[in-house]
Structure 1
Amino acid sequence: MGAMRVAVLGAGIVGAACARELALAGCRVTVVDRAGPAAATTSHGEGNVLVSDKGPGPELLLAQLSRRLWPEVLGAIAERSAQGAAAVAAAEWEPKGGIVVATTDAGARELARFAGAQRETGVRADVLGPDALAEAEPHVTRDHTAALHYPYDAQVQPAGAAVALLTDALAAGAALRTGCEALGAVTRGGRLTAVRTSAGLVEADLFVNAAGPWAGELAARLGAPVDVRPRRGDILVTTPLPPMVFHKVYDADYVGAVGSSGEDVQISAVVESTRAGSVLLGSSRRRAGFDDRLRPEVLSAIAAKALRLFPGLAGVPVMRTYGGFRPYVPDHLPVIGCDPRLPGLWHAGGHEGAGIGLSLGTAVLLRDLMLNQPTEIDATAFRVDRPAVLGAAARTGDEETV
C-alpha cells in the first residue's frame, strides 16, 4: 500500500503549515486553492504571534505550543536549502515582545486579573512601571494606569511566512494546484473520496478543509456544514517613519474585543512598526458577511484609539488601508480534527484573528490526529462535533454519490 494521499483545501498559512507537516511525515500531499498561496486572509493580517491576548484554556495551550515551534520550524526550513533560507528571510520573524497598556482604573484592574491567571499557566507577564514603560516605548502615552510586558509575543510577515511553509512542503514532495475552486463532494459508501473542482476531480484518501473564513461555505458544499463565518477587520498603514514603536503595543480593551460575540463593531488600539518603517494601526472586528467595503467611520475610530496610545502619531499621513476576513466561530475556539459525519473530511480552521500565530501548532496537532499518534496537547476542545460548530450554519451541501 502506498503513502496516504491528502488533499489540503486552502493555501493560506494554515493550509501551508498542514501541508508541510503532512508531507514531512511521508504523506502524498496536494494543496488546492481557487486563487494562489496566501492570496486572501493570510495576506490581509498583521502577522500576530501572540500569547498575551489569550486567557487560560485550550487556545492558550495551542498558542504556547505554536510560539515554541515558530523559531524551530523557520530554522529547519532555512537549514534545508538556499531557497528555504531566502523564504525564511522574507517571513521576517521578529520576537519583539508585546506591551499591553491600560488607560483607565477599571482597565488596570482587569489587566492585572487577566495576567495573574495567565501566569499560573506559565505565561510571562512583567509589570512595567512608568519609568520602565517610558524606556521601552518612549512615545507611548504617559496617561496610563498600568502596563505589562509579554516578552514572548512576536510577529511575522504573514504572506512571507506562508510561502516559506509552502516552499518547504513542496520541497518535501507536496504538489500545488491553483485556480482550482472546490465545488462539491464525491462519496463512496458514505466516505469522501474526491472533490469536484473547477479544474477537474481531486482524489485523495483524506481531505483537509483549511479554507479560512470560507470554511463554512466549503464544508456546506461538501455536505458537512460547520459554523465558521467571516468577521471583518481593518488596518491603517502610515508612511514610513523614523523608529518610534519598538514592540507590539495594544490597549487593554483588545482582549475584550477578541473575545466578543457582538454584532456591533469592536474597536481597540494595536500599534506596531514594520521593518519597512511603516506603522500598522488596528484593529476592528465586525460581522459584515463578505462585504469588503471600507467604512470611514470604522477607520476613524481605529485612528482615534491609536492616538490615545501614541499621541505623537497625530498628523502622520496614512498611505493606505486594507481589510480582511477572519474565520469566526461562536465559541472562539479553532476547529481541528476529523468530521464524524463524513469520513475522510478533516477541518483545520476557525482561528479568527489568531490563525497566523496558531498555524504551526494546528498543523502538528492535525498531523498527529490524522496519523493516530499521541498529541502534545489535548485536542478535545477543538473537536468538530461540538454545538458551536454544528450550530446555525447548517446548510445543504452539493454531494454526488457514486
Structure 2
Amino acid sequence: MPGSPDVVVVGAGVVGAACAEALSAAGRRVVVVDRGAPASGTTGAGEGNVLVSDKEPGPELELAKLSRRLWPDLLAGLREELGPRAAEAEWDPKGGLVAALGDTDAEALAAFAATQRDQGVRAEDITPEHARELEPHLTPRVSGAVLYPDDAQLQPVLAATALLAAVRARGGEVRGRTSALGVRRDRSGAVAALATSGGDIPCGAVVNACGPWAGAFAETAGAPLDIRPRRGVVLVTAPLPPGTVRRKVYDADYVGAVGSDDADLQTSTVVESTAAGTVLIGSSRERVGFDDTMRVHVLRAIARKAAALFPVLERVPVMRAYGGFRPYAPDHLPVIGPDPRLPGLWHATGHEGAGIGLAAGTGRLLADLLTGADPVLDPAPFRVDRPALLAGAPA
C-alpha cells in the first residue's frame, strides 16, 4: 500500500536496531515495533561486549570477526550522519585478557587460543608475570593467560539508540509500547502485514528480532522456532579508581559456560570497568524460563569467583545487581535469514549473550539477504531450517 513500510522489524534491541539500520541504509523504508521502550529488554541488561576471544573456530567466530570490523566504521558513520552527541556509544577497543588459575586450565586455554590464531584471531600467549603487569590487581594464582587486543566494549543502550535514530533520520519509524500479535497473510500465503496492538501494519516483510521472546513470536506467526530464554545476572560495584580493571578480564571457564547445554546454574568470572568507573561483574547462566527472581546464592557465587580473580574486589561495595534473558538456540548459533515456511518472514535471533557484539554483522548479513545483495558472509550456517531449531519447536 502507498506509504506502507517495506519491512517491519519486531524488537528494538540492539540486534533489531542493527537490522533496521542496515535495511534503511540499503534504501528500504522500515518501521520498528517493540512492546516496551527501545533497548529495554535483553540489550538493557547487557554488558556491551564485542568479543572474538570467546568464540571457537566456526561460523559464529566468522560473524564475530565481521562485526568487530564493522562496528567502528558503523559508529563513525552514525556520528557523521547524526552528530557526535546523538551517536555516542562509548566505544572502547580496550582489549581482553583471559586468565587461567590452574595448570590444566592454562594448557586448555593455550590450545584454544592456538585454534583461534589459525583462523586469523590475534591471540597472544603471555606469561603470568606479564598478565599481572597489564592488570596489577590480578590474583598471583594466575598460571597462564592470553591477550586479545581486538576485544572491545560499547554501551549497548546508547548503541541501539543511535542505530534507531539513524532509522528515523532516513524516514523510518520506531513505535514503542506496541505489541506484535502475529502476521497477516495474502492469498498466496505470504506476509501481507504485521498485526499489532495498535492495528495492522501492511508490509512486504517482517523481521523477528525479539531476542529471548523470538520463539513465542515465531509460534504466533505460525512458524515456530526453538529459541529459549537463558537467564544471567550482573553485579555493579561502586566507582573505583581509574586503572583498577583495565580490560575485559575473564577466567578460562567462561568459554565452556557459554557453550554448555546444561540448564542448571553455571557461573564463571567476567570483570570489566565502565566509563563511569563502576565495575561490572558476571556472569551466570541458567535456564529457568522467564523467572526473573533475584537469587542470593547466584549473586554470592558470582561475587566469590570475582574476588578470587581480583582480590581487590573483596571489600568493594556492590551498588546493585540486575538480570536479563539471553536468546538461547540449542546448537549455539544465531538464526539469520528467511523462513522457508512463510514467505516474507525473516529471523534475526538466537545470539544468546553475544548479541551486542554480533549485531553489526547480523544486520549487514540480513540486509544483504533481504535486498538480494551478495551476502557479506556465508549465510548457510545460520539458516532457519536447521534441525536443532525445528526439532524442539512446538508442532
Q: TM-score range by the shorter chain?
A: over 0.9
Per-residue CA distance 1:6-46 (angstroms, 9 max, x = gap): 00011000111111111111111010111121011100010
Q: Secondary structure at the match of 1:200?
A: coil
SS of 1:86 mapped into structure 2: coil
Give me the whole-angstrom Cα distance separating, in 2, the residues matched to 1:369 and 1:185.
21
Equivalent residue for 1:383?
Answer: 383
- Structure 1 gaps of 5+ residues are 396-402
Q: Name the CA distance, whole Å, in 1 between partners of 2:221 and 2:116.
A: 39
1:147 aligns with 2:145: yes
Q: Could you say which residue in structure 1 is the equivalent of 2:59?
A: 58
Q: Distance in 1 between matches of 2:272 and 2:87?
A: 21
In 2, Cα distance between the equivalents of 1:360 and 1:169? 14
Moved more, 179-188 or 140-149: 179-188
CA–CA separation in structure 1 for the residues paired with 2:75 and 2:376:
20
2:249 alignment partner AA: V
Listed as ranges, the matches of 1:59-208 within 5 Å are 59-82=60-83, 85-89=84-88, 91-188=89-186, 189-208=188-207
1:317 and 1:198 mapped to 2: Cα distance? 43
What residue in structure 1 maps to residue 233 of structure 2? 234
Which residue is 1:392 aligned to?
392
Say whether 1:266 aligns with 2:266: yes
| Partner secondary structure for residue 388 of structure 2 | coil
Aligned partner of 1:273: which letter?
A: S
User: What is the rounded CA distance, in whole Å, between the counterparts of 1:64 and 1:113 in structure 2?
Assistant: 20
Provide the rounded CA distance (Å) in 2 between the counterparts of 1:211 and 1:391. Answer: 20
Q: What pairs with 1:354-365 in structure 2 (closer than 5 Å)?
A: 354-365=354-365
- State the SS of the aligned residue for 2:142: coil
Unaligned runs of 5+ in 2: none
The runs of at least 4 aligned residues of structure 1 exceeding 3 Å deviation read: 1-4
Which residue of structure 2 lines up, in the alignment, with residue 26 of structure 1?
A: 27
Note the C-alpha offset of 1:162: 0.5
SS in structure 2 at match of 1:92: coil
Quote how far apart the aligned CAs of 1:88 are: 2.6
Q: How far apart, CA to CA, are the structure 2 residues paired with 1:190 and 1:80?
A: 39
Displacement, 1:312? 1.1
Over the aligned positions, Cα root-mean-square deviation in angstroms equals: 1.2
Q: Secondary structure at the match of 2:315?
A: coil
Q: SS state of the match for residue 364, structure 2?
A: helix
1:46 touches 1:158 (CA, 8 Å); kept in 2?
A: yes
Q: Partner of 1:370 in structure 2?
A: 370
Amino acid in structure 1 at the alignment position of 2:266: Q
2:5, 2:202 within 8 Å by CA — same for their partners in 1?
A: no
1:179/1:199 contact within 8 Å kept: no
Which range moved further: 249-258 or 27-36?
27-36
Determine if contact 1:52/1:98 at 8 Å carries over to the other structure: yes
* Partner residue, 1:326: 326
Residues 22, 308 of structure 1: alpha-carbon distance in 2 compared, 3 angstrom cutoff = same
Amino acid at match of 1:156: L
Counterpart CA distance in 2 for 1:195 and 1:367 is 19
Aligned length in residues: 392
Identity %: 59
Query: What is the SS of the residue equivalent to 2:63?
Result: helix
Q: Which secondary structure state, in structure 2, belongs to the residue aligned with residue 389 of structure 1?
A: helix
Contact 1:20 1:172 in 2 (8 A): no
| Aligned counterparts of 1:144 and 1:378: Cα–Cα separation in 2 | 39
Distance 1:313 1:29 in 2: 46
Amino acid at match of 2:315: G
Q: Distance in 2 between matches of 1:111 and 1:95?
A: 22
Distance in 2, matches of 1:158 and 1:300, equals 26
Shift of 1:4: 6.9
Give, as a single letter, the amino acid of the residue that structure 1 aligns with 2:349: G
